[in-house]
Amino acid sequence: MKIDTRKSTGKSKTGRLLGGLTAAEFLRDYWQRKPLLVRGAMAGFIEPLDKREVLDLTMRDDAESRLIFRAGNKWSLVQGPLSRRDLAAARAGLWTVLVQDTQHFSQRAHELLARFNFIPHARIDDLMVSYAVPGAGVGPHVDSYDVFLVQGHGSRRWRVSAQKDLKLRDDVPLKILARFMAEDEFVLEHGDMLYLPPGYAHDGVAQTECLTWSVGLRAPSSQDLGMALLDYLRDEIQLSGQYQDAGLAPTRSPGKIGRDMQTRFRHMLGGLAIAVTDPQNIHACLGRYLTEPKSHVFFDGPDAACSPAAFRSNAMRAGLVLNPKSRMLYDSENFYINGEAWPIEADSVGLLRRLADTRFLSATALASCESARAFSILHEAHASGYIMTRQANDFQQEGPA
């Protein structure tokens, strides 16, 4: 296997990112099919966070992080939040730290994710960063999802394989392949990007102290979606009726569950079978599931309550932006934000779709909105900490790149 390699070219940002390919060409020829290496995909790339900021995040309880340490053939894993003692001990050998969801803490991280807006937001999981010392990595592994790897500071050598043998080592706390047979090898320098579809084995080793940024895509399993649907129905479904067996005959086997009872129970649960396959239930469950915050993510409303009138005035003066931790999506029936659903209404649909697509609303857009329902929804989201006025935000959002 020889990975296709292209040099950054083209007038559009997407063209330069994809080595001269249009988004449609990339999705047709590479997406979930084969890897692509683009040299200089992000020329002049300014990283969302520097080394010190990344290490500081590993010590926060609102950031998901891991420390991976290797000494010879022995691997160790420490889940964050980390302590200064953890980091000091790691410096004795080859170590890597990983921090998930850097877009929660950096505007530049959001801007980097916006470069991939040709992919639906529902498919994008997060922007993870890996800091590694020379010689360090996380071992040869395979991901079940697509990933774009953007090289920041320093350089990293990658070995890639389309091997079918995905058996894992059983003596380490990481999902490291037992046997890895590289089929191609190259070094990513600052601004280079590697795209890997699901199922490609890969191993990245830092050649120098380096930062690598991973745009991870969501690929839930059928089991995950099935359990999410059952959880949703548990809260939403209302089954009518009560067990009845008038005319019950005497039994000689009181410990037996008879066929007649089984049949009655099947009929009682017929509504559940219908609910499980009801498209409206599936769609509503999916919207909530895809926007549900991760377990370590919490939202705080504003320190002082804001009346609807004051909120509207402030929003029309400064504009609004989604909280960097918020996930907002929509379908033909509902808007979904952080696991909650709002029914779509004609007079508010345009404004709320713009918020979901671009993550911000300008003061001009808000001033031209005459929908009381839209402002009511936005006020409710503001009170929950899901959105904020731009002047109150730590960093200012921009539209898609």
Q: What is the pLDDT of residue 393?
A: 57
Q: Are residues 195 and 234 in the same domain?
A: no
In a domain, 88, yes or no: yes
Q: Are residues 22 and 159 in the same domain?
A: yes
Q: Are residues 352 and 233 in the same domain?
A: no
Q: Are residues 198 and 228 in the same domain?
A: no
* CATH classification of the domain holding 44: 2.60.120.650
386-398, pLDDT tens digit by residue?
999 886 554 443 3
53 pLDDT above the threshold of 60: yes
In a domain, 180, yes or no: yes
203-224, pLDDT tens digit by residue?
999 999 999 999 999 999 999 9
244 pLDDT above the threshold of 50: yes
Q: Are residues 85 and 199 in the same domain?
A: yes
First to last CA, the chain: 33
In a domain, 298, yes or no: no
Least trusted range by pLDDT, from 23-32, 61-70, 294-303: 294-303
Q: Are residues 130 and 230 in the same domain?
A: no
Our measurement of the distance from residue 362's CA atom to the centroid of its chain's CA atoms, rounded to an integer in Å, reads: 25
In a domain, 294, yes or no: no
In a domain, 370, yes or no: yes
Q: What is the pLDDT of residue 392?
A: 56
Q: Are residues 125 and 207 in the same domain?
A: yes
221-242, pLDDT tens digit by residue?
999 999 999 999 998 988 889 9
Q: What is the pLDDT of residue 390?
A: 80
Q: Are residues 13 and 160 in the same domain?
A: yes
* CATH classification of the domain holding 384: 3.40.366.30
- As given in the structure block, the two tokens for residue 85 are 């003692």
**3-class SS at 186?**
strand
306-336, pLDDT tens digit by residue?
899 999 999 999 999 999 999 999 999 999 9
Residue 263 neighbours by CB distance under 10 Å:
10
Q: What is the band of 304 on the pLDDT scale with cuts at 50, 70, 90?
A: confident
Q: Are residues 183 and 261 in the same domain?
A: no
Q: Are residues 340 and 193 in the same domain?
A: no
Can you tell me the mean pLDDT for 125-130?
98
Q: What is the pLDDT of residue 396?
A: 42
Q: Are residues 182 and 226 in the same domain?
A: no
What integer best gives the mean pLDDT of the chain? 93
In a domain, 299, yes or no: no
Least trusted range by pLDDT, from 86-90, 135-139, 282-286, 382-386: 86-90
Inter-residue long-range contacts of 11-19, CB under 8 Å, 24+ positions, other chains counted: 13/115, 13/401, 14/115, 14/118, 16/41, 16/42, 16/43, 17/41, 17/42, 17/115, 17/193
In a domain, 302, yes or no: no
Can you tell me the mean pLDDT for 266-289?
94
Q: What is the pLDDT of residue 387?
A: 96
Residue 160's domain comprises 4-217
161-187, pLDDT tens digit by residue?
999 999 999 999 999 999 999 999 999
Residues 69, 76 contacting (CB under 8 angstroms): yes
360 pLDDT above the threshold of 90: yes
Domain count within the chain: 3
CA distance 398 to 337: 19
Q: What is the pLDDT of residue 400?
A: 35
Q: Are residues 187 and 74 in the same domain?
A: yes
In a domain, 179, yes or no: yes
